[in-house]
Amino acid sequence: MIVMNSLHKGKISMKTEIFLIPIVVILFVSLGLTFNNNAMGALRQDADAAAELSTIRKNLGVYSKMSPNDAKDYYEEALNELQMIIDMFAGTEEALEAAFYIGATNNILGSFNEAIAYFDDVLQFQNEIDINFKARLLYFKAQALIGIGNIDEAKNVITELRIIEPGAANAFGKELGGSMGLGMHAPDFYTEDFKGNSIKLSDFEGKIIVMHFWATWNDRCLEMLPEIKQLYRKFKGPDVQFIGISRDDNLDDLKGIVLQKNLEWPQIFEGMRYKGMMSKLYDVRNIPITFIVDQQGKVQYIGTSNEKMTQILTTLIVKGEKKSGY
Protein backbone atom coordinates (compact mmCIF):
# COMPACT_ATOMS: atom_id res chain seq x y z
CA MET A 1 0.00 0.00 0.00
CA ILE A 2 2.72 2.43 0.98
CA VAL A 3 6.29 2.06 -0.20
CA MET A 4 8.58 4.05 2.07
CA ASN A 5 11.45 4.51 -0.36
CA SER A 6 12.43 7.78 1.26
CA LEU A 7 13.26 6.00 4.49
CA HIS A 8 16.90 5.04 4.70
CA LYS A 9 17.64 1.40 3.93
CA GLY A 10 20.25 -0.89 5.43
CA LYS A 11 22.41 -0.33 8.49
CA ILE A 12 22.03 3.06 10.08
CA SER A 13 25.25 5.08 10.24
CA MET A 14 25.56 6.83 13.58
CA LYS A 15 27.38 10.06 14.33
CA THR A 16 29.84 10.01 17.19
CA GLU A 17 28.27 13.02 18.85
CA ILE A 18 27.66 13.53 22.55
CA PHE A 19 24.29 12.33 23.85
CA LEU A 20 22.43 15.57 24.36
CA ILE A 21 19.18 14.27 25.87
CA PRO A 22 19.94 11.07 27.76
CA ILE A 23 16.32 10.43 28.79
CA VAL A 24 13.96 8.51 26.56
CA VAL A 25 11.30 8.96 29.24
CA ILE A 26 10.76 12.51 27.98
CA LEU A 27 10.33 11.22 24.46
CA PHE A 28 7.93 8.36 25.07
CA VAL A 29 6.09 9.20 28.29
CA SER A 30 5.70 12.96 28.76
CA LEU A 31 2.93 14.85 26.99
CA GLY A 32 1.13 11.58 26.39
CA LEU A 33 3.65 10.54 23.76
CA THR A 34 2.61 6.92 23.56
CA PHE A 35 0.89 5.41 20.58
CA ASN A 36 -2.72 4.31 20.71
CA ASN A 37 -4.16 1.45 18.69
CA ASN A 38 -5.68 3.81 16.13
CA ALA A 39 -2.73 6.11 15.59
CA MET A 40 -2.71 5.63 11.83
CA GLY A 41 -6.40 5.30 11.05
CA ALA A 42 -6.47 3.97 7.47
CA LEU A 43 -3.22 1.97 7.50
CA ARG A 44 -3.28 -1.76 8.06
CA GLN A 45 -1.79 -3.29 11.19
CA ASP A 46 0.56 -6.25 11.49
CA ALA A 47 0.61 -8.30 14.68
CA ASP A 48 4.20 -9.50 14.25
CA ALA A 49 5.48 -5.97 13.64
CA ALA A 50 3.47 -4.68 16.58
CA ALA A 51 5.00 -7.25 18.92
CA GLU A 52 8.52 -6.42 17.75
CA LEU A 53 7.87 -2.69 18.09
CA SER A 54 6.51 -3.14 21.61
CA THR A 55 9.70 -4.93 22.63
CA ILE A 56 11.88 -2.19 21.15
CA ARG A 57 9.90 0.51 22.96
CA LYS A 58 10.38 -1.28 26.28
CA ASN A 59 14.09 -1.62 25.59
CA LEU A 60 14.40 2.08 24.85
CA GLY A 61 12.89 2.80 28.24
CA VAL A 62 15.52 0.58 29.86
CA TYR A 63 18.34 2.29 27.95
CA SER A 64 17.18 5.66 29.28
CA LYS A 65 18.20 4.56 32.76
CA MET A 66 21.76 3.80 31.64
CA SER A 67 24.64 6.25 31.33
CA PRO A 68 24.87 7.78 27.83
CA ASN A 69 28.15 6.07 26.95
CA ASP A 70 26.92 2.67 28.11
CA ALA A 71 23.68 3.04 26.16
CA LYS A 72 25.20 4.13 22.85
CA ASP A 73 25.63 0.64 21.38
CA TYR A 74 22.14 -0.35 22.49
CA TYR A 75 20.63 2.69 20.81
CA GLU A 76 22.44 1.79 17.58
CA GLU A 77 21.08 -1.75 17.82
CA ALA A 78 17.57 -0.41 18.38
CA LEU A 79 17.89 1.81 15.32
CA ASN A 80 18.82 -1.17 13.18
CA GLU A 81 15.90 -3.18 14.55
CA LEU A 82 13.51 -0.31 13.83
CA GLN A 83 14.85 -0.05 10.29
CA MET A 84 14.16 -3.76 9.81
CA ILE A 85 10.52 -3.17 10.73
CA ILE A 86 10.35 -0.42 8.11
CA ASP A 87 11.90 -2.66 5.46
CA MET A 88 9.83 -5.75 6.23
CA PHE A 89 6.45 -4.21 7.01
CA ALA A 90 6.12 -1.25 4.64
CA GLY A 91 2.58 0.06 4.41
CA THR A 92 1.69 -0.68 8.02
CA GLU A 93 1.06 1.45 11.06
CA GLU A 94 4.07 -0.14 12.67
CA ALA A 95 6.41 0.94 9.86
CA LEU A 96 5.48 4.57 10.35
CA GLU A 97 5.74 4.23 14.12
CA ALA A 98 9.19 2.71 13.69
CA ALA A 99 10.24 5.67 11.54
CA PHE A 100 9.05 8.02 14.27
CA TYR A 101 11.07 6.16 16.89
CA ILE A 102 14.15 6.29 14.69
CA GLY A 103 13.76 10.05 14.47
CA ALA A 104 13.16 10.40 18.20
CA THR A 105 16.17 8.22 19.04
CA ASN A 106 18.36 10.24 16.69
CA ASN A 107 17.23 13.31 18.63
CA ILE A 108 18.65 11.69 21.75
CA LEU A 109 21.92 10.96 19.99
CA GLY A 110 22.20 14.52 18.71
CA SER A 111 21.89 13.37 15.08
CA PHE A 112 19.31 16.03 14.39
CA ASN A 113 19.52 16.14 10.59
CA GLU A 114 18.98 12.38 10.47
CA ALA A 115 16.01 12.78 12.83
CA ILE A 116 14.42 15.49 10.69
CA ALA A 117 14.68 13.30 7.59
CA TYR A 118 12.67 10.54 9.27
CA PHE A 119 10.07 12.91 10.69
CA ASP A 120 9.58 14.44 7.24
CA ASP A 121 9.23 10.99 5.69
CA VAL A 122 6.37 10.16 8.05
CA LEU A 123 4.74 13.56 7.67
CA GLN A 124 4.34 12.82 3.95
CA PHE A 125 1.53 10.46 4.96
CA GLN A 126 -0.62 13.07 6.71
CA ASN A 127 -3.83 11.59 5.33
CA GLU A 128 -3.03 8.22 6.90
CA ILE A 129 -2.02 9.38 10.39
CA ASP A 130 -4.25 10.79 13.09
CA ILE A 131 -3.94 14.23 14.62
CA ASN A 132 -2.28 13.03 17.84
CA PHE A 133 0.47 11.24 15.97
CA LYS A 134 1.04 14.32 13.82
CA ALA A 135 1.39 16.43 16.96
CA ARG A 136 4.12 14.08 18.23
CA LEU A 137 5.97 14.32 14.94
CA LEU A 138 5.81 18.11 14.92
CA TYR A 139 6.95 18.31 18.55
CA PHE A 140 10.08 16.27 18.01
CA LYS A 141 10.81 17.81 14.63
CA ALA A 142 10.82 21.20 16.35
CA GLN A 143 13.27 19.84 18.92
CA ALA A 144 15.56 18.62 16.15
CA LEU A 145 15.39 21.94 14.27
CA ILE A 146 16.35 23.77 17.45
CA GLY A 147 19.20 21.29 17.86
CA ILE A 148 20.71 22.31 14.51
CA GLY A 149 20.04 25.99 15.19
CA ASN A 150 17.30 26.41 12.56
CA ILE A 151 15.15 28.59 14.79
CA ASP A 152 13.05 30.15 12.02
CA GLU A 153 11.87 26.78 10.72
CA ALA A 154 11.35 25.57 14.30
CA LYS A 155 9.00 28.51 14.87
CA ASN A 156 7.00 27.52 11.79
CA VAL A 157 6.68 23.94 13.03
CA ILE A 158 5.69 25.11 16.51
CA THR A 159 3.06 27.40 15.02
CA GLU A 160 1.54 24.39 13.25
CA LEU A 161 1.80 22.34 16.43
CA ARG A 162 0.03 25.05 18.44
CA ILE A 163 -3.08 24.63 16.28
CA ILE A 164 -3.20 20.91 17.07
CA GLU A 165 -1.84 20.74 20.62
CA PRO A 166 -1.29 24.11 22.38
CA GLY A 167 0.09 22.50 25.52
CA ALA A 168 2.91 20.80 23.65
CA ALA A 169 3.67 23.96 21.68
CA ASN A 170 3.86 25.99 24.88
CA ALA A 171 6.73 23.81 26.05
CA PHE A 172 8.86 25.75 23.57
CA GLY A 173 7.54 29.16 24.64
CA LYS A 174 6.30 31.94 22.42
CA GLU A 175 9.73 32.91 21.19
CA LEU A 176 12.80 30.88 20.25
CA GLY A 177 16.26 32.27 19.82
CA GLY A 178 16.85 35.88 18.90
CA SER A 179 18.15 38.48 21.30
CA MET A 180 16.44 38.98 24.62
CA GLY A 181 16.41 42.62 25.65
CA LEU A 182 15.19 44.77 28.51
CA GLY A 183 11.53 45.58 28.29
CA MET A 184 10.72 42.47 26.23
CA HIS A 185 8.05 40.04 27.40
CA ALA A 186 9.63 36.95 28.93
CA PRO A 187 8.79 33.91 26.76
CA ASP A 188 6.37 31.56 28.44
CA PHE A 189 7.34 27.95 29.01
CA TYR A 190 5.91 24.78 30.49
CA THR A 191 8.31 22.23 31.93
CA GLU A 192 9.21 20.40 35.16
CA ASP A 193 11.83 20.86 37.83
CA PHE A 194 14.21 17.98 38.47
CA LYS A 195 11.84 16.65 41.13
CA GLY A 196 9.04 16.30 38.60
CA ASN A 197 7.01 19.33 39.71
CA SER A 198 5.38 21.31 36.90
CA ILE A 199 6.69 24.83 36.27
CA LYS A 200 4.86 27.22 33.97
CA LEU A 201 6.01 30.81 33.77
CA SER A 202 2.50 32.14 33.27
CA ASP A 203 1.47 30.52 36.57
CA PHE A 204 3.55 33.21 38.29
CA GLU A 205 1.73 36.06 36.57
CA GLY A 206 1.74 39.15 38.77
CA LYS A 207 4.89 38.05 40.60
CA ILE A 208 8.50 39.13 40.24
CA ILE A 209 10.49 36.25 38.76
CA VAL A 210 14.23 35.68 39.16
CA MET A 211 15.60 33.12 36.69
CA HIS A 212 19.20 32.06 37.19
CA PHE A 213 21.02 30.01 34.51
CA TRP A 214 24.01 28.09 35.84
CA ALA A 215 25.81 24.73 36.01
CA THR A 216 27.83 22.86 38.62
CA TRP A 217 30.70 22.35 36.15
CA ASN A 218 31.20 26.13 35.84
CA ASP A 219 33.49 27.59 38.52
CA ARG A 220 32.05 31.10 38.19
CA CYS A 221 28.57 29.69 38.73
CA LEU A 222 29.66 28.00 41.94
CA GLU A 223 31.33 31.21 43.09
CA MET A 224 28.10 33.11 42.48
CA LEU A 225 25.81 30.69 44.31
CA PRO A 226 26.26 32.39 47.71
CA GLU A 227 25.15 35.68 46.14
CA ILE A 228 22.05 34.07 44.65
CA LYS A 229 21.29 32.44 48.01
CA GLN A 230 21.67 35.84 49.67
CA LEU A 231 19.19 37.35 47.20
CA TYR A 232 16.79 34.50 47.75
CA ARG A 233 16.85 34.85 51.53
CA LYS A 234 16.42 38.60 51.31
CA PHE A 235 13.57 38.69 48.81
CA LYS A 236 11.80 35.31 48.97
CA GLY A 237 8.10 35.63 49.62
CA PRO A 238 4.67 35.41 48.01
CA ASP A 239 5.48 38.16 45.52
CA VAL A 240 8.85 36.86 44.30
CA GLN A 241 9.58 33.53 42.58
CA PHE A 242 13.13 32.21 42.10
CA ILE A 243 13.82 29.58 39.41
CA GLY A 244 17.15 27.92 38.65
CA ILE A 245 17.92 26.52 35.19
CA SER A 246 20.78 24.01 35.27
CA ARG A 247 22.95 23.26 32.25
CA ASP A 248 24.52 20.28 33.93
CA ASP A 249 25.34 17.14 31.97
CA ASN A 250 24.48 14.85 34.87
CA LEU A 251 21.36 15.13 37.02
CA ASP A 252 23.20 13.68 40.01
CA ASP A 253 25.69 16.56 39.90
CA LEU A 254 22.82 19.03 40.20
CA LYS A 255 21.12 17.05 42.96
CA GLY A 256 24.38 16.88 44.90
CA ILE A 257 24.99 20.63 44.87
CA VAL A 258 21.33 21.42 45.62
CA LEU A 259 21.57 19.20 48.70
CA GLN A 260 25.05 20.33 49.71
CA LYS A 261 24.31 24.06 49.31
CA ASN A 262 20.71 23.79 50.54
CA LEU A 263 19.22 25.49 47.49
CA GLU A 264 15.53 25.90 48.26
CA TRP A 265 14.15 27.27 44.99
CA PRO A 266 13.03 25.07 42.05
CA GLN A 267 15.72 23.85 39.66
CA ILE A 268 15.05 22.94 36.01
CA PHE A 269 17.52 20.39 34.63
CA GLU A 270 18.21 21.00 30.93
CA GLY A 271 20.83 18.31 30.47
CA MET A 272 21.96 19.74 27.13
CA ARG A 273 24.63 22.29 27.95
CA TYR A 274 24.14 25.09 25.46
CA LYS A 275 21.38 23.46 23.40
CA GLY A 276 18.63 23.17 26.00
CA MET A 277 15.16 24.51 25.33
CA MET A 278 15.32 27.13 28.08
CA SER A 279 18.69 28.37 26.91
CA LYS A 280 17.39 28.67 23.36
CA LEU A 281 14.23 30.35 24.55
CA TYR A 282 16.12 33.05 26.46
CA ASP A 283 19.09 33.26 24.10
CA VAL A 284 21.53 32.30 26.89
CA ARG A 285 25.03 31.87 25.53
CA ASN A 286 27.13 32.33 28.65
CA ILE A 287 26.62 31.41 32.28
CA PRO A 288 26.08 32.40 34.98
CA ILE A 289 23.39 34.87 34.04
CA THR A 290 20.23 36.04 35.77
CA PHE A 291 16.97 37.42 34.37
CA ILE A 292 14.59 39.49 36.48
CA VAL A 293 11.03 39.66 35.17
CA ASP A 294 8.59 42.21 36.57
CA GLN A 295 4.95 41.77 37.58
CA GLN A 296 3.81 42.46 34.00
CA GLY A 297 6.03 39.72 32.58
CA LYS A 298 8.66 42.07 31.13
CA VAL A 299 12.41 41.57 31.47
CA GLN A 300 13.87 44.30 33.65
CA TYR A 301 17.39 42.96 34.18
CA ILE A 302 19.87 40.61 32.51
CA GLY A 303 23.27 40.17 34.13
CA THR A 304 25.24 39.03 37.17
CA SER A 305 25.65 42.10 39.39
CA ASN A 306 24.41 41.36 42.89
CA GLU A 307 24.20 45.07 43.64
CA LYS A 308 22.07 45.85 40.58
CA MET A 309 19.82 42.85 41.15
CA THR A 310 19.22 43.99 44.72
CA GLN A 311 18.31 47.47 43.47
CA ILE A 312 15.99 46.18 40.76
CA LEU A 313 14.20 43.77 43.08
CA THR A 314 13.79 46.41 45.79
CA THR A 315 12.37 48.89 43.26
CA LEU A 316 9.94 46.37 41.78
CA ILE A 317 8.69 45.31 45.20
CA VAL A 318 8.11 48.93 46.26
CA LYS A 319 6.27 49.69 43.02
CA GLY A 320 4.12 46.61 43.50
CA GLU A 321 3.24 47.64 47.03
CA LYS A 322 2.23 51.12 45.88
CA LYS A 323 -0.02 49.73 43.13
CA SER A 324 -1.68 47.36 45.59
CA GLY A 325 -2.42 50.26 47.93
CA TYR A 326 -0.33 49.06 50.85
* Radius of gyration, alpha carbons of the chain: 22
Which CATH class for the 24-170 domain? mainly alpha
Give CA–CA dist 312/271, Å, rounded: 30
Beta strands 289-293 and 299-303, pairing class? antiparallel
Q: Which CATH number fits domain 190-324: 3.90.1580.10, 3.40.30.10, 3.30.300.30, 3.30.450.20?
A: 3.40.30.10
Cβ-based burial of 253 (10 A; exposed 0-12, middle 13-18, buried ≥19): middle
Provide the pLDDT for residue 275.
65
Query: HSE of 194 in the Cβ direction (CA atoms, 13 Å)?
Result: 26
pLDDT exceeds 60 at position 20: no
Residues in the chain: 326
Mean pLDDT (whole number) for 264-278: 81
The 10s digit of each residue's pLDDT in 141-196 is 988 887 776 777 887 888 788 778 877 776 675 445 455 677 888 888 888 889 98
DSSP annotation of 178 reads: S
Tell me the CB-side half-sphere exposure of residue 50, using CA atoms within 13 A.
12
- Residues in Cβ contact with 125 at an 8 Å cutoff, skipping those fewer than 6 apart: 2, 43, 96
Residue 79 predicted with pLDDT over 90: yes
CB distance 13 to 88 below 8 Å: no
**Does 190-324 match 24-170 at the fold level?**
no
- What residue segments make up the domains of the chain, in order of their start? 24-170, 190-324
The per-residue pLDDT for range 279-319, each reduced to its tens digit, is 878 888 788 999 999 999 999 999 888 999 999 999 999 88
The arithmetic mean of pLDDT across residues 123-130, rounded, is 84
CA 279 to each of CA 38, 65, 79, 194: distance values in angstroms, whole numbers, following the listed order: 36, 25, 29, 16
User: CA 261, CA 193: separation in Å to the nearest integer?
Assistant: 17
Question: Which pTM does this prediction carry?
Answer: 0.49
* Candidate from 59-68, 169-178, 260-269, 298-307 with smallest mean pLDDT: 169-178
Neighbours of 169 (CB within 10 A): 22
* Gap between the Cα atoms of 326 and 323, Å rounded: 8
Residue, of 322 and 96, whose pLDDT is higher: 96
